[in-house]
Amino acid sequence: MTGRPKSQAGSGALRRLAESKLGTRRAAVAGARAHADARRMLHELQVHQIELELQNEELKQAKAEVDAGLEKYTDLYDFAPVGYFSLGEQGLVLDVNMTGASLLGLARSGITGRRFQLFVAPGSRQAFNATLGAAFSVREKQTCEVSMLAANRPSFWAEVQAMSAAPQRGELNWCRVAVVDVSARKQAEDAQRRLDILAATNRKLEGEIVQRLAAETSLKKSEQNTQRLLEESRHLHHKLREISHQLLTVQEIQRKEISRELHDKISQLLIGINVQLLAFAESAKADPREIRRKIIPLRRLVEESVRTVHKFARDLRPAMLDDLGLIPALRSLVDDMARQRGLRVQFAAFLGVEALDNVKKTMLFRIAQEALTNVAKHAQASEVKVVILKSRGGVCLEVADNGKAFDVGLISSSAWDDRLGLTGMRERVEMIGGRFSIFSARGRGTTIRAEVPSGRLSKPR
């Protein structure tokens, strides 16, 4: 577009052009007045008129160019593939192109003058308001995705790009907003997301199929193990019945021995005491000086009775275990074993064992008692070691002899005749969460080990 010339060079050229055209017209006005001033004035007026005509032509040409450019810009603006909106600070629609009107399914007149937020879904208005406010405050392009409402179609997703425009003098602040329909992209993303979910579901199903196959295999193995365990349970039940029978038999034997001991020893001692008392009474009547001599055998019988009763009590449960503790009770036990059986018994104990509760101390005493009894009956040993050591997290009792060995594997078989004592020891230890083990080898004797768990052990006060 060409503008109006304003420079002196442009004005001179225009004047020369006007004078040239005036020279061609002078023949037609030859009859004009000859007065020089009038002719000069007329000349100036005619030149000025021609200048105005030329300027008018030039303005018409510039207007045509401007109209063509405006029409071209309008076509580009209206038929752009993106919806363009001009918004005020509160979201009032100042202008909209045809694409924007088509997106909303309304005529331009139904959009301009209304707030843009009315065409945004309620769930997206907060995001749009934040984007619009940021565009006016920082004057940089802001972007968000919102759900739009349209009159001729369901709601659709759109990408909104907003940027504040520099206002001209006297204009209010306004903002350029571009709206791009991204529904197809959203649908593609949703489709891809569903495909991903479907693929993940398929992988999960494949994993479940593998797990089910493994579960079936495991179930088959479990059925086989169940059958095996059932057979073992039946075998253990049979063994339990045998052990229960042996336990009852042992209890009867123990009762019989206690009864025989009471009858043979205590009863005879009491009868002897009674006879001595009668003789003592008769002697005291006949010769009072014989009292001192007669009372000596009587005192011996009483002392023997007391020792026998103490022995029975110690075999049943030694009072020393409750009164003095585990270490004195074990020391008395090993001393009696050494004296009665002629064994060399070495004893050593960790003092912190006295910090255990009564149940665990009683269990350790019974294990040592039963082990020493088995050594005396079966091992043919000459030396025994009884040791109580501090172990990791508890206390360990070891009873080791140098006697003959035996096959430890035979303990659980029906061919083993004297397995009740060892089984009872194992049951005592495992009942309180401990561990019981037996080691036996030719030339190295037998070692019985019982490990008892406990809390922090400290030296007893």
89 and 13, same structural domain? no
In a domain, 297, yes or no: no
418 and 353, same structural domain? yes
Task: Report pLDDT digits (tens) over 263-274.
Answer: 666 666 666 776
In a domain, 229, yes or no: no
Which structure tokens are listed for 179? 């709206």
Instruction: Find the domain containing 151 and state its range.
Output: 83-181
Distances from the Cα of 347 to the Cαs of 68, 340, 368, in angstroms?
121, 16, 11
What type of residue sits at position 335? D
401 and 444, same structural domain? yes
23 and 105, same structural domain? no
Query: Element (H or E) spanning 271, and its range?
Result: helix 268-286
99 and 54, same structural domain? no
Final residue in a domain of this structure, among 181, 198, 231: 181
pLDDT tier for residue 394 given thresholds of 50, 70 and 90: confident
116 and 45, same structural domain? no
Task: Report pLDDT digits (tens) over 39-97.
Answer: 788 778 888 888 887 878 778 777 766 666 655 555 566 777 888 999 988 889 999 99
Q: Do strands 383-391 and 344-349 pair parallel, antiparallel, or not at all (unpaired)? A: parallel
Predicted local distance difference test score (pLDDT) of residue 347 = 93
- What is the CA angle 410-343-355, rounded to 5? 80
201-211 residues labelled b (16+ CB within 10 A) or e (exposed): eeeeeeeeeee
pLDDT tier for residue 321 given thresholds of 50, 70 and 90: confident
Distance in angstroms (rounded) separating the CA atoms of residues 294 and 289: 10
- Residue 116: how many CB atoms within 10 A of its CB? 26
Query: Element (H or E) spanning 339, and its range?
Result: helix 326-341
Distance in angstroms (rounded) separating the CA atoms of residues 164 and 145: 18
103 and 55, same structural domain? no
CB contact set of 26 (below 8 Å; sequence gap of 6+):
none
Which structure tokens are listed for 329? 């009770």
Please give the distance of CA 91 from its chain centroid, rounded to a whole number. Answer: 49
327 and 449, same structural domain? yes
CA nearest neighbour of 163 among 130, 135, 133, 128: 135
- Residue 390: how many CB atoms within 10 A of its CB? 14
In a domain, 393, yes or no: yes
Counting the structural domains of the chain, the total is: 3
Final residue in a domain of this structure, among 181, 201, 224: 181
Distance in angstroms (rounded) separating the CA atoms of residues 347 and 218: 52
Predicted local distance difference test score (pLDDT) of residue 244 = 63
173 and 88, same structural domain? yes
Task: Report pLDDT digits (tens) over 226-277.
Answer: 888 888 888 877 776 666 666 556 656 666 666 666 666 666 666 677 666 6
Average pLDDT over residues 289-299: 65
pLDDT tier for residue 447 given thresholds of 50, 70 and 90: very high
In a domain, 67, yes or no: yes
- DSSP character for 120? B
In a domain, 211, yes or no: no
In a domain, 408, yes or no: yes
- DSSP character for 168? P
